[in-house]
């Protein structure tokens, strides 16, 4: 689904695990770092950090937003450096594959695995107010070939997802190609724009972290009338 900014949101691998939000970038580098199962520790400098001290959390939810588990917590100050260990999620935060929604062209090697996923980190103040989010990606202002965002998935078993799927919406055709290998534990994977032309976009899911990623901070804005937070995209 395309939102008002021209970006896209997808449900990863048809599992109902989480939403992926792809924003813009411009690096067509096909090399990959962080092989499967090597992501129990995430780190890096936050490129556009506004300064001050914030608490960064990797938040998982189960059922309702108030039913949450923090897979990792770190405090970032003016040095803008993130260092976070990721812990094993409790069983009630793990979900199973929905085999009824897997397209015919997609093959999952072991549908008995259970998983949890997060697509961004949340930044909180010391009164637990939401200040913004962090994403690992390579973007500037417009979606181009090579754009990607990094996601993190915990799996109870090793498994693979391979194959492809095509969706058609009026005159727009979108293709998704899967070439994913997950180990037991936390894994990084990347969701990348592989091809783009008028009325056609091809995306690919690949294991590990595509080269050129960095942490980017997005602040929230507050609707004073409804007292709701909105991330500035």
0.85 cut: is pTM over it?
no
Task: List strand residue ranges (DSSP E) for 64-147, in order.
Answer: 64-76, 81-85, 95-96, 106-108, 114-118, 121-124, 130-137
pLDDT tens-digit readout, 159-215: 999 999 999 999 999 999 999 999 999 999 999 999 999 999 999 999 999 889 999
Report the C-alpha gap between 114 and 210 in whole angstroms: 25
* Residue-level pLDDT at 32: 63
* Residue-level pLDDT at 55: 97
* Residue-level pLDDT at 161: 93
How far apart, in Å, are the Cα atoms of 149 and each of 1, 101, 143? Answer: 16, 24, 11
* Residue-level pLDDT at 97: 83
* Residue-level pLDDT at 17: 33
* Residue-level pLDDT at 225: 43
* Residue-level pLDDT at 63: 64
* Residue-level pLDDT at 34: 66
- Which stretches of the chain score pLDDT less than 70? 1-36, 63-66, 140-142, 222-233
pLDDT-above-70 percentage for the chain: 76
């Amino acid at each position: 689904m395309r939102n008002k900014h021209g970006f896209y949101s997808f449900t990863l691998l048809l599992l109902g695990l989480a939403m992926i939000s792809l924003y813009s970038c411009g690096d067509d580098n096909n090399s990959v770092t962080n092989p499967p199962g090597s992501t129990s520790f995430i780190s890096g400098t936050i490129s556009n950090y506004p300064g001050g001290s914030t608490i960064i959390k990797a938040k998982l939810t189960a059922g309702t937003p108030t039913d949450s588990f923090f897979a990792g917590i770190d405090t970032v100050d003016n040095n803008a450096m993130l260092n976070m260990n990721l812990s094993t999620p409790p069983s009630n935060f793990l979900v199973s594959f929905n085999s009824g929604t897997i397209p015919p062209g997609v093959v999952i090697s072991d549908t008995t695995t259970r998983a949890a996923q997060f697509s961004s980190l949340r930044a909180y103040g010391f009164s637990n107010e939401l200040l913004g989010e962090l994403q690992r990606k390579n973007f500037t202002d417009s979606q181009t070939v090579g754009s990607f965002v990094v996601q993190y998935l915990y799996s109870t078993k090793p498994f693979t997802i391979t194959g492809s799927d095509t969706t058609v919406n009026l005159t727009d055709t979108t293709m998704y190609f899967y070439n994913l290998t997950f180990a037991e534990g936390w894994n990084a994977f990347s969701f990348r724009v592989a091809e783009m032309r008028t009325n056609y976009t091809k995306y690919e899911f690949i294991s590990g972290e595509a080269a050129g990623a960095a942490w980017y901070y997005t602040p929230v804005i507050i609707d004073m009338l409804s007292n709701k937070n909105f991330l500035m995209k």
